[in-house]
C-alpha cells in the first residue's frame, strides 16, 4: 500500500471517528426519548460539553446529573484494550474495516451479561434483595444473609470481581466519592456501600476468589437510578456511547501506526490432546 493510500485511509478513518463521537449522544438520546417519553425529543445545546449535552438531551436539567454523566462517560470510555467491546472494535478494524463497522461489532460485544449488562444485573439483584426483605433499607445482617443465600444457591453476587484487577476497581472508588459528595440519602446507594463491607470477606472465606472487591458495575446503576434514570434496560446504550471515546480514539492510533491484521493463534489437535492430558495429570 502506498504512502498516499495510507494517508488517505487515515484521514477517512479520523473523519469517521469524529462523526461517530459527535453524533452518538444525539442518537442515544433520540432512542431514549422515543422509547420512554412518547417521542418527545430535545434539541442539543451547543453551549454544553459532550457529556452534559447527553444528559440535557435525555431530559435531565439538574447540574448533578450533568456532573454524573461527565464522570460516567469518562470511566466507561475504556479501561484496558483487552475487554470484549474494545478488543472487538480493534479486531474488526485491523482488517481495515471502517470505524462504523468496527464500532458496531464492538457494541454487539456489550450485549452479554458478563460485559455491558453487568450493571443492570446489579440493580436487578438489589431490587430482588429489597423485595424479599420487605423493601426499604435492610440491615447489614439481613444483607449478609441474602448474600450467603445467593452464593449457596450457586449464583454469583453481581458487581464483584474482575478478570484483570486484583483490588477495588478505581472506577468504583470514583463513583463512591461522587456519591459521598453529592448524595445525602438513598437506600440503594447505601446498600451498595454496605455490600462493599459485607461481600469481600464472605467471598474470601470460600478460598476460591482471587478478586473479591467491587468493580465499576457495582456502583454505576445506583447513581443513575438516584437521579431518575430508572430505565435500566437503557444502561448498556449509555455504556456504548461512553465506550466510543476510548475505542474510536484507539482506532486512529491503530491506523496511524499501521497496525497489522490481528490473527489468533492456531493450534493442532495433537496440541489440544497434550494440553488436556497435562491438565488432567495436574488435577
What confidence tens digit (pLDDT) does each residue in 149-198 have? 999 999 989 999 877 777 889 999 999 999 999 998 999 999 999 999 99
Residue 215 and residue 178 share a domain: yes
Half-sphere exposure of 244 (CA within 13 A, CB side): 25
Q: Which of 226, 246, 264 is the last residue of a domain?
A: 226
Measured distance CA(210)–CA(204) in Å, rounded: 8
Q: How far apart are CA 34 and CA 42, in angstroms?
A: 11
Does residue 100 lie in a domain region? yes
Looking at residue 249, what is its pLDDT?
93
For residues 133 and 213, state if they share a domain.
yes
State yes or no: is 76 an active-site residue: no
User: Is 262 inside any structural domain?
Assistant: no
Tell the burial category of 277 from Cβ atoms under 10 Å away from its Cβ (0-12, 13-18, 19+). exposed
Whole-structure pTM value: 0.87
Q: Are residues 162 and 129 in the same domain?
A: yes
Residue 156, phi-psi category: left (phi > 0), alpha (psi -120 to 50), beta (remainder): beta
Which domain does 46 fall in, by range?
3-115+231-256
Please say if the pLDDT value at position 242 is more than 90: yes
Domain with residue 58: its CATH number is: 1.10.580.10
Is 269 part of a structural domain of the chain?
no
What pLDDT, on the 0 to 100 scale, is given for residue 45?
Answer: 97
Taking the CA atoms of 84, 86, 88 and 90 in sequence, report the sign of the dihedral they define: negative
Residue recorded with cell 493510500 = 5
243-269: average pLDDT? 91
Q: How far apart are CA 238 and CA 227, in angstroms?
A: 15
Q: Are residues 87 and 32 in the same domain?
A: yes
Q: Bridge partners of 214?
A: 160
- Whether 102 and 172 map to the same domain: the answer is no
Residue 214 within a domain: yes
The vertex-185 CA angle with 183 and 190, nearest 5°, equals 95
Q: Are residues 101 and 146 in the same domain?
A: no
Q: Where are the alpha helices (DSSP H) in the chain?
A: 3-36, 50-58, 63-75, 84-93, 99-108, 118-132, 140-152, 170-182, 187-206, 217-226, 235-256, 269-282
DSSP 164: S
76 lies in the same domain as 168: no
Residues 237 and 218 in one domain: no
Mean pLDDT of 226-240: 93
Number of domains in the chain: 2
Give catalytic status of residue 219 as yes or no. no
> How confident is the model over 7-51, as pLDDT tens digits?
556 788 999 999 999 999 999 999 999 999 999 999 999 999 999
Closest CA to 75 of 191, 273, 216: 216
Q: Which set of grid coordinates corresponds to residue 229? A: 434514570
**Measuring CA to CA, how many Å separate 120 from each of 82, 84, 114, 267?**
22, 17, 11, 37
| Any domain includes 274 | no
One domain, residues 185 and 219: yes
- The span from the CA of 264 to the CA of 101, in Å, is 20
* Spatial CA neighbour of 191 closest among 235, 142, 232: 142
Cα distances from 227 to residues 49, 126, 132, 147, in angstroms, run 19, 17, 24, 26
Catalytic residue among 56, 76, 90, 162: 162
Could you say which of 64, 87, 115, 186 is catalytic? 115
Which pLDDT score is estimated for 283?
Answer: 59
Q: Annotated catalytic, 217?
A: yes
Q: Which CATH number do you get for residue 124?
A: 1.10.230.10
From 16, 169, 217, 254, active-site residue? 217
Cβ proximity of 31 and 59 under 8 Å = no
Q: Angle, nearest 10°, between helix axes 187-206 and 170-182?
A: 150
| Residue 280, domain member (yes or no) | no
Amino acid at each position: 500500500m502506498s504512502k498516499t493510500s495510507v494517508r488517505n485511509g487515515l484521514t477517512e478513518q479520523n473523519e469517521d471517528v469524529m462523526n461517530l463521537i459527535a453524533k452518538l449522544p444525539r442518537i442515544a438520546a433520540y432512542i431514549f426519548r422515543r422509547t420512554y417519553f412518547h417521542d418527545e425529543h430535545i434539541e442539543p445545546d451547543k453551549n454544553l460539553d459532550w457529556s452534559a449535552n447527553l444528559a440535557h438531551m435525555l431530559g435531565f436539567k439538574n447540574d448533578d446529573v450533568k456532573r454524573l454523566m461527565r464522570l460516567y462517560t469518562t470511566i466507561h470510555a475504556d479501561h484496558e484494550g483487552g475487554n470484549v467491546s474494545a478488543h472487538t472494535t480493534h479486531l474488526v478494524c485491523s482488517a481495515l474495516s471502517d470505524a462504523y463497522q468496527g464500532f458496531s461489532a464492538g457494541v454487539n460485544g456489550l450485549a452479554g451479561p458478563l460485559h455491558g449488562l453487568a450493571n443492570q444485573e446489579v440493580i436487578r439483584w438489589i431490587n430482588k434483595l429489597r423485595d424479599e426483605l420487605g423493601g426499604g433499607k435492610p440491615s447489614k445482617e439481613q444483607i449478609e444473609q441474602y448474600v450467603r443465600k445467593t452464593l449457596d444457591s450457586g449464583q454469583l453476587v453481581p458487581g464483584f470481581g474482575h478478570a484483570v484487577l486484583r483490588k477495588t476497581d478505581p472506577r468504583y472508588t470514583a463513583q463512591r466519592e461522587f456519591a459521598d459528595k453529592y448524595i445525602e440519602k438513598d437506600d440503594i446507594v447505601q446498600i451498595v456501600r454496605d455490600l462493599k463491607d459485607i461481600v469481600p470477606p464472605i467471598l474470601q472465606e470460600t478460598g476460591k476468589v482471587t478478586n473479591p472487591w467491587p468493580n465499576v458495575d457495582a456502583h454505576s446503576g445506583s447513581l443513575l437510578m438516584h437521579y431518575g434514570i430508572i430505565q435500566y434496560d437503557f444502561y448498556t446504550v449509555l455504556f456504548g456511547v461512553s465506550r466510543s471515546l476510548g475505542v474510536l480514539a484507539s482506532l486512529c492510533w491503530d491506523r496511524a501506526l499501521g497496525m497489522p491484521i490481528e490473527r489468533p493463534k492456531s493450534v493442532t489437535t495433537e496440541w489440544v490432546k497434550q494440553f488436556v492430558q497435562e491438565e488432567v495429570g495436574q488435577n
